[in-house]
Amino acid sequence: MLWILWAAFQVLVLNWLGFSLQVALLDSLITNPLLAATCVLVSNNLKYYLPQRDKHWYILVLSLIMSALCLALTKWMIFLVVKYQPDYFIFFNRSLPIRFGMTFLLIACMAMISVVWYTFEEQKSNEKRKDETEKTTKEAELYKLRQQLQPHFLFNSLNSISALILIDPEQARNMIQQLSDFLRNTLKKDEQQWISLAEELQYLELYLGIEKVRFGHRLSTIIESDESSRHMKIPNMLLQPIVENAIKFGLYDTTGQITIRLSATAKGPQLIITVQNPFDPETFQNTQGTGFGLSSVQRRLQLLFGRNDLLDTKAEHDIFTTTVKIPQQL
């Protein structure tokens, strides 16, 4: 629209200077399409070759060359089409510096606009590729962390089943069934990044059922959660390594019966989960409070939320407490 208005303005100016309407129209109809075509050519050239930051002189040189070629072609076509107009030819030759300046100005402006536009598009494309690469890398690392937890638990369970087959075949069959249900749910949940706390607790109950068969009366659990927290979202398979860590350092450091307590509460936009287990301060070796299980949870939380303050461990008297904060995605 702006170009049409400019072409109409050019016709009015030439007609006002005393040239016939036919000559003014021919001048405008030859000059402006050629100039527009040159601008498009320059823009397409810059689409496939963007000058580097220290080579912006390329835009100036390109604009000068294309302006000269455009004006030369315009002059040739005008002199070919407009005949027997000596006054107009004299006016055209005298106006060449002004025409060249306007042509150069428009082409240079188009070149700068194209450079800015294509640079912006290239940056957006690079950022998109970078985000996709980071997302793929993050998902691969999260998947690897989840898979690393399974072999250790699976080997222990199979060893327990092997021992139970001789002394208690019925318990061995029950444990095989529970292990089958646990692994089936694990495979289903691998496709989901987020699940409700209620689903995660169901999955955790399967895991605890297997562990209770392994350790018998020595292991008991208490799981508490309010209604609002059960609908909140949590990364899948996040609680199992925390509870496994509690069982490991609770049972291995003591000789009697232990109780693992898990409580979940909603606190504003966060889901707060605490896992507590008893331990013997004299034999407790995990002075930093993190084994592979807890370190993998901390890494998962860092990858998902970009924060290092969502997992906290504390040992007081003979109780070890692990607290996890899960920000809710709005």
Q: What is the pTM of this model?
A: 0.57
E strand residue ranges, 127-256 = 194-196, 219-225, 233-235
Select the more confidently predicted residue: 181 or 329. 181
Res 290: pLDDT: 45
Helix (H, G, I), strand (E, B), or coil: what is residue 314?
A: strand
φ, ψ at 326 (rounded to 5°)? -115, 100
How far, CA to CA in Å, does 9 sit from each of 2, 3, 4, 66, 100? 10, 10, 9, 24, 18
pLDDT at 286: 47
The DSSP string of 257-291 is -EEEEEEEEEETTEEEEEEEEE--TTT---TTS--
Q: Name 147's Cβ contacts closer than 8 Å, sequence gap at least 6.
A: none
On the question of pLDDT at 273 being above 90, the answer is yes
321 — phi, psi (to 5°)? Answer: -120, 130
What are the tens digits of pLDDT across the range 193-231? 788 999 889 888 888 888 887 788 888 999 999 888 999
Structural fold of domain 168-327: Heat Shock Protein 90 (3.30.565)
Kindly tell me the burial class for residue 171, based on how many C-beta atoms sit within 10 Å of its own C-beta (0-12, 13-18, 19 or more).
middle
Residue with more model confidence, 264 or 125: 264
Other C-beta atoms within 10 Å of 154: how many?
14
**Range in 125-129, 178-182, 184-188 the model is least confident about:** 184-188
pLDDT at 175: 80
List the structure tokens of 112. Answer: 């700068």
Task: For the chain, give every domain's residue range.
Answer: 2-127, 168-327
Write out pLDDT tens, residues 221-268: 999 998 889 999 998 888 888 998 888 888 876 677 889 999 999 988
